[in-house]
Structures are given as C-alpha cells and as structure tokens.
Amino acid sequence: MDRDSLTCLLTYLFLQTMHCPKCGVKMIFKNNSMYCERGNMLLTHTLYARFNARFVEKTPEEPLLQRTQNPRGRFFCPACGQRMKFTGGYVQCPEGHGALNDSIFDLNQLCPHDRVND
C-alpha cells in the first residue's frame, strides 16, 4: 500500500466514529478494532466488524431474534452514544440506529469494561 492510500485509509477510519456500547463515550481506533479509554475495553474483531457494518456503514441485514427478557446491564448505541432501550423484545437505539440483541453475550463475556461513575 502506498503512502497516499494509507493516508486515505487512516482518514476514513478516523472519521468513522463509534461510541462505546457499555458507557457511551467515543472510542478510538486501536489494534484494528475500537477501544474505550474510559472503560479500558477493546472490542473483539467480530464485534467491531458487526458494529461497523450495522451502525457506521448502515449495511442492510436480516432481522434480529427477539429477546424474551431485558438483559442485565446498561448498553449504549455505538452510532450516537445514547442509552439503548428494551422495547418489544429488542435492545435498541431510541434514535433508530439499530439493536444489540445478537451482541449482548459477547459484550458481557468477551469485552470486560471497567466500572465507571456517571
């Protein structure tokens, strides 16, 4: 990859903002994924790819399965940072950016986030 292509790619990645799904602050690009400095949490590459497609690039996808119960914990929209709401079986953004139903287990089990005070 030449220097101009690398500069273009880094600019693109910098402009693609993503918020932490556990605390809502803006994340930074680190180790080919997104990192929350506030909570010392690095997204798995799978979650990064999923969130980038769903919340940044807005790629159409199949509907998610409904949840029967509200999951434990607080979750925030990776697109806008607002707190997600549990409505109609979906943990979804109040602004309509998408849902996290298929990511709750991975977020809770694979992406530890330090406790933060609001």
Residue ranges covered by each domain of the chain: 3-110
- Give residue 37's pLDDT: 96
- Give residue 54's pLDDT: 92
- What tokens were used for 115? 């406790």
- Give residue 12's pLDDT: 54
- Give the residue carrying structure tokens 């990645």: 13
Q: Of 13, 15, 23, 2, which is closest to residue 111 (Cα–Cα)?
A: 23
Cα separation, 85 vs 115, in Å, equals 20
- Give residue 47's pLDDT: 95
Listed in order, strand segments (DSSP E) in the chain are 28-30, 33-36, 41-42, 85-87, 90-92
- Give residue 18's pLDDT: 94
- Give residue 7's pLDDT: 55
Asked if residues 26 and 81 have their Cβ atoms less than 8 Å apart, the reply is yes
Average pLDDT along the chain, 118 residues, taken 10 residues at a time: 62 69 95 94 95 89 87 94 95 94 93 82
